[in-house]
Structure 1
Amino acid sequence: MKKLFSALLFCLLFPLTALAQDYSDGHGYTTIANPVPTNDPHKVQVVEVFWFGCPHCFRLEPYTQEWKKTIPNYVDFQYLPAVFGRGWLNHAKAFYVAKLLGIENKLHSDLYNAIHVDHRRLNTEDSLAKFFTHYGVSEAEFKKQFNSFAVQSRLAQADARIRGYGVQGTPTLVVNGKYLVDAETAGGNDNIYKVVNYLIEKEHDKMQ
């Protein structure tokens, strides 16, 4: 009965167009040559590789927020900040500070909007420290975490994972360490999560 309910819930939450579409390697997604193991074999992991300064990531964010409202409990969604250039590092560090302080969900979309809508130059330690004060974090606490070993460790782990995935740009969705989905392969932001949902179903079926 539990499995039946789960299957019915999946059909209700995930668009039927995504389930009916026949995607294949090179048509909707790209298969990773050497799959990267996930943390929990009982869940389908979905990772969004992103950069707060990326306009394409900013445009995808509303789609991501809406999609996150529909995912069932067997999907593990994670953001993973990329550092493909010197200007990317401080944003990645800020992401992990927010995560360590438990304000990631409150701050994530707000930081995108501050950069891309309000055109604020939030790319230095000091400017980011001031931004975090709006979430009850003192500048001293922000800077302590910003330069901490915990943040440095997470940056190194993120870099290793992104290299393992073979991600070349942002935003890129990684499904279960096996498939890459981006706007180009999916045919636009409107289709990205249709492809992701298709791959989630494919991977979840293997777990049954």
Structure 2
Amino acid sequence: MPKTLSDEDIHQFREAMRRIAENAFATRGAQGVTMRELARELGCSAMTPYRYFRDKDEILAMVRAAAFTRFAQRLEAAVLAADPANRGTVLSDAYVLFALDEPHAYRLMFDVAQPDDAAHPELAAASQRAWRLLGAHFEPLVAAGRLEGDPRLIAYAYWASLHGFAMLALANQLPPPEGQQGAPESDAHPGPSREAVLAQLRKMLWRGALAQPASK
């Protein structure tokens, strides 16, 4: 007869599974991973994971929810510590740094679709936590007349732009970071840095949403 699982037993197993599964899903894709393989990598019997999870989808949802939670915590901590006038820059930097620091987690957050929020409420709540933070950043700016437009639409455009930048950086399709970019022999000046590209992106997004002065 299997022993009764304590809350600590459940927490420890689920956390160990999260670490194993995040790497497996990110490197082999959701379709390329089975419960049996996860159990083998975790060093337990093939049936043991079913004591803690209904199926593979529940494991994937747990992994993605944990990633979204860490992502939201990173953004929240950065914004909380930032000067109000500098929050836009700090927010975008924190976003990109999370993607670069946790590439497996970041890809799983946005490369894998699990549309059934009712089946995975923890995942839905975690993803909405990150979205609310990005959306809330633009609401007071629009209310104060500094930006023009629907703050939700601006936030989506901002998110889409940062996501594109992050994915290009992860694919090594952007210039290298500051201090690492090389200079052609015929050019005394080094090429643009990754940081310069991000700064230009922020500038273009900001200008595009600037409130226009009233015509006379």
Higher strand share: 1
- Relative to the length of structure 2, the TM-score reads 0.29
Which has the larger helix fraction? 2
Higher relative contact order (CA 8 A, sep 6+): 1
Q: TM-score normalised to the size of structure 1?
A: 0.30
